[in-house]
Amino acid sequence: MYKRQLHKGRLLLGAEEIANNQDIEFTAFRTLPALRWSPARWDVLLGLGAMGFFIATRTRTGGASRSAKTLLLYLIVYGSTIVLFFVNARFRTPLIPVMAVGGAYGLVTAVRAARAGQGRQVLLTLGGALAIGAASHWITPASVIRTDAAGLMDLGQAELRRGNTLAALAHLEEAHRLSPSHPQVCFQLASALDQAGADPRRAIAILDGASKGQSAFASADIVPLRLQLRLKLEEAPAVLREAEELLRITPANSKLRFVYGAALVQVRRYPEAIAAFQSQARDEPMNAEPLYVLGQLYQSLGKPLEARSAYEGALARGQSMAPMIREDIARRISSLR
């Protein structure tokens, strides 16, 4: 427990920004590359802020000492809550404006000392800030590896939602080159390849190269996708057996349920497939995919009324569906008239 908290403390003070749901640095630098040289970065603010607050707390005149102690108390209390729970850039951001106050005080002190000819004070202030900033890089754990993989993956997902598969693949291929074993990167790239109609064997090989470090993610997402890709290799009987076994362990896994229904379709057990998709649609009222496939199944079986009902239900649920899928549903409904 002590080692874990120490590790998280190093993450809090370390120079690297750790992304959560979005890589802030990647987005900022890609939007405005000049930000890479901005002084408003963690190591600079940490060094100047620490020296500024140190100097302010030793000031005997005015309210600088009292104000500095109040701000330091905020930094300590809020920083402690981050260490206790979850360290990342998004939660660390509220510390930056307060550190900037201390940094500004440190700079003002150095400028005043320079004007007064107090070279020793200038050296101590700026030298101390430089040493602390350098230490923030040194204490960063070696496990924190800075790459653009997460940001590129986000761009790839955004392009997929827009229906731009080629652009998505370009971003995801680059992310995979930077982090070839990252489970989420492998999953997103394999998904994009599947949507692009690439050879399923290539997507399966990418999934097989994913590390097993995120077992929960692997069982919930990677395993079902791998089974879905195997369906395209005409392995429906084996996939059906494996999906049945896995569903006994995790019966609420949405993606496994979908693969199970798709496997039933491929082995021509249509009544069971219809029942499976109907059950999933009832249990997951926000999920449009079972109704979309159910509509296709009804349409292939020559049941236009049931197909129209399923498609309309999918459209009503699928506000977040990719535009190309919504367009496909609209075309299918028109063809049923």
Q: Which of 126, 125, 100, 110 is nearest to 46 (CA)?
A: 100
Please report the pLDDT score of residue 176 as a whole number. Answer: 93
Greater confidence (78 vs 324) lies with: 78
- Note the pLDDT tens digit of each residue in 63-115: 678 888 899 999 999 999 988 888 888 888 899 999 999 999 999 999 999 99
Please report the pLDDT score of residue 21 as a whole number. Answer: 67
DSSP-derived 3-state class of residue 182: coil
As a whole number of angstroms, the distance between CA 199 and CA 262 comes to 19
Whether 197 contacts 230, CB under 8 Å: no
Give the domain-ending residue among 85, 108, 138. Answer: 138
226-234 contacts, C-beta under 8 A, 24 or more apart: 227/256, 227/259, 227/263, 228/194, 228/255, 228/258, 228/259, 228/262, 229/190, 229/194, 229/200, 229/203, 229/204, 230/200, 230/204, 231/259, 231/262, 231/263, 231/266, 232/200, 233/200, 233/201, 234/266
Please report the pLDDT score of residue 90 as a whole number. Answer: 82
Q: Which of 13, 83, 82 is nearest to 42 (CA)?
A: 13
As a whole number of angstroms, the distance between CA 92 and CA 79 comes to 8
Burial status of residue 323 (CB atoms within 10 A of its CB: 0-12, 13-18, 19 or more): exposed
As a whole number of angstroms, the distance between CA 213 and CA 136 comes to 27
Residue 129 lies in a domain: yes
As a whole number of angstroms, the distance between CA 163 and CA 294 comes to 22
Q: Is the pLDDT of residue 214 over 60?
A: no
Give the domain-ending residue among 138, 158, 174. Answer: 138
Give the CATH number for residue 325.
1.25.40.10
Residue 37 lies in a domain: yes
- Note the pLDDT tens digit of each residue in 226-262: 999 999 999 999 999 999 999 999 898 999 999 999 9
As a whole number of angstroms, the distance between CA 208 and CA 199 comes to 15
Residue 212: DSSP 8-state: S
Structural domain for 61, as ranges: 2-138
Residue 232 lies in a domain: no
Question: Mean pLDDT over residues 303-332, rounded?
Answer: 84
As a whole number of angstroms, the distance between CA 187 and CA 93 comes to 30
Greater confidence (273 vs 27) lies with: 273
Radius of gyration of the chain (CA): 28
Q: What distance, in Å, lies between the first and last C-alpha atoms of the chain?
A: 65
Residue 202 lies in a domain: no
Whether 99 contacts 45, CB under 8 Å: yes
Which tokens belong to 325?
Answer: 């899928």
Please report the pLDDT score of residue 193 as a whole number. Answer: 93
User: How many domains does the structure of the chain reveal?
Assistant: 2
- Note the pLDDT tens digit of each residue in 1-28: 678 888 888 888 887 877 776 677 777 7
Least confident span in 43-52, 59-68, 186-195: 59-68
Percent of the chain with pLDDT over 90: 45
Residue 314 lies in a domain: yes
Please report the pLDDT score of residue 324 as a whole number. Answer: 77
Residue 156 lies in a domain: no
As a whole number of angstroms, the distance between CA 130 and CA 48 comes to 8
Single-letter amino acid, residue 137: H
Give the domain-ending residue among 138, 172, 200. Answer: 138
Residue 86 lies in a domain: yes
What separation in angstroms does the CA of 234 have from each of 178, 200, 201? Answer: 32, 11, 12
Residue 149 lies in a domain: no
Mean pLDDT value across the chain: 87
